[in-house]
Structure 1
Amino acid sequence: MGIAMELFYFNLHAPDLEKSKVFYKEVLGWEIGGGSLGGHVNNTNTPCGVGPGSTTNTVYFTTDNLKASMAKVEAECGKILSREFYEGIGPAAFCQDNQGTRFALQEPGTPEMKKHAADVKKGRKHGDLFFFSLPIKDEAKARIFYAVVLGWTFGEKGKGGGLGVENLKGPDGGLGCGREGHHPSLWFRVENIMDAVERVKGAGGSAGDIFDAPEGDMCEVVDDQGVKFGIVQPASGY
């Protein structure tokens, strides 16, 4: 197996930051405050935040050499959309793959951030990230792109059409084959799926039907500003 580029950070974007703070506190128990935009979540195992913007999600993957990783993206027919430098964190690049799916690359630029990037762990409590998924149409093209750019290796396709990444030490993730859209899906652990659905609705969001999967009971939901995400009551062993 190769060395996989791990999830560094993720953001849920919505127009109104203060509404996001209230919603995710109620539904996922997030304590939000701090960071340059005031939207950093302080009590999750996987560092994350909420911030002003559209209703899409952003995932950042760690690279120890941003310039070399950007060159791989372009060599595999992806694109570099923009560059950014985050004070106290380091340089980042916003990219899209060879099918239009968007993700970001982050090079840790300080000893503290390098330590954070090396100390990846999977969350096990209510509100932690359970799984991330990047939507793709062409499975063969995606396998090659993410193997070259992020060093990912994949198992067999699941019943739902997903490809799980085999060599991640941190939060689990994969590719959603045949999924619509160009932005990642984020799924979060909850202690009780029925209670979580009611909390989503009570906070002004909406929810689809609860469905069974090998990983547990799941439901796709939308917050009170139109941000889509998923909740999971994990099965035993997950």
Structure 2
Amino acid sequence: MSAHTEGTPCWADAMFPDVEAAKSFYGEVLGWTFDSGSEEFGGYAQARSDGKAVAAVAPQTQGVEGPAAWNLYFATPDATATAAKIRDNGGTLAMEPMRVGEFGTMATAQEPSGAYFSVWQPDTHEGFEKTGETGAYCWAEVTTRDPAATDVFFPAVFPYETRKMDVDDVDFSVFQAGGEPVLGRLKMTEDFPPDAPPHINVHFAVDNCDAAIATVTKLGGRLIFGPMDSPFGRFATVADQQDAVFTVIDLTTTEGEMPEFT
């Protein structure tokens, strides 16, 4: 049995034009160390925090254009069946289910509003070995201009229940799997650049949000939003020096009351 419930984010990776620069950047910002990249799989290298697998980086495939971007994987017991649900519910498959050595089977898709994601049917590689702690994945949000389409799509593909945050000025919902919140959905407002595409914003936990921002900018990255205090932690959205966007959050520094969900 998979270590991750169906529909739960179970892995994250990114391809970079300069993978060695990415290793240096994330090593300093998030404290990651890296396995030697597998030549068989194009230099794909797992990142580790406290010796536990937390993500992966790889050289950008030849012929691929555009900035680097983090890609989130969702656990599935059957990648082929999930791919069919994606097609049947208005999504688009960018990559059909494909076996990845002995590690598992993956597929990559776009949900109806345009955000990319992947699904992962595990074999020897089950995914994250650490979450919700410093240096590891802790949360993600589908950030979209068409929340209605997204809100219909994801519960049709995965066994999700949806709860909407009861706040007047923010259109935000949470998808739950097995009664646990696993994914957020945020409507993009005028605060977002008009050319910003729909995307899944991956969050990594840090000890100190402001210190992480300082390190990001020192290394050639940039601050996009924040820092901001919240009941969930102090967070900021940043981009690395190759323009891959992600959020850093200090889960221990919280402010305010938890919002109500309906």
TM-score (norm 2): 0.77
Residue 130 to residue 215, structure 1, CA distance change in 2 (3 Å): same
Structure 2 equivalent of residue 178 of structure 1: 188
Counterpart for residue 137 of structure 1: 145
Could you tell me whether the CA contact under 8 Å between 2:107 and 2:120 is conserved in 1? yes
1:131–1:171 contact (8 Å) kept in structure 2? no
Q: Which amino acid aligns with 2:147?
A: E
Please give the secondary structure, in 1, of the residue aligned with 2:13.
Answer: strand
Structure 1 position 39 matched with structure 2 position 45: yes
In 2, the alpha carbon distance for the partners of 1:182 and 1:168 equals 26
Equivalent positions of 1:1-238 (< 5 A) are 4-36=6-38, 37-43=43-49, 47-53=54-60, 54-83=67-96, 84-108=98-122, 110=123, 112-113=124-125, 116=126, 123-157=131-165, 159=167, 160-167=170-177, 172-178=182-188, 180-208=196-224, 209-235=226-252
Which ranges in structure 1 are unaligned for 5 or more consecutive residues? none
Bigger strand share: 2
SS of corresponding position for 2:47: coil
Q: CA RMSD in A?
A: 2.6
Q: Distance in 2 between matches of 1:172 and 1:65?
A: 19
How far is 1:231 from its partner?
0.8
1:32-65 residue CA offsets vs partner (Å, 9 max, x unmatched): 1245324211226663112222411211112111
Question: Which structure has the highest helix share of the two?
Answer: 1
Count residues in correspondence.
230
Go from structure 1 to structure 2 and tell me whether the alpha carbon gap of 1:170 and 1:104 turns closer, same or farther (over 3 Å shift).
Answer: farther
Give the fraction of aligned pairs with identical amino acids, expressed as a percent: 22
Measure, in 2, the Cα distance between the counterparts of 1:170 and 1:38: 31
**SS, match of residue 181 in structure 1:** coil
Equivalent position SS for 1:99: coil
Unaligned runs of at least 5 residues, structure 2 = 61-66, 190-195
Cα offsets for 1:73-97 (capped at 9, x unmatched): 1111211122333112122111111
| 2:192 aligned partner | none
SS in structure 2 at match of 1:41: strand
Counterparts in 2 of 1:169 and 1:89: CA distance versus 1, 3 Å: farther
Change (3 A) 1:158 1:186: farther
TM-score norm. by structure 1 comes to: 0.85
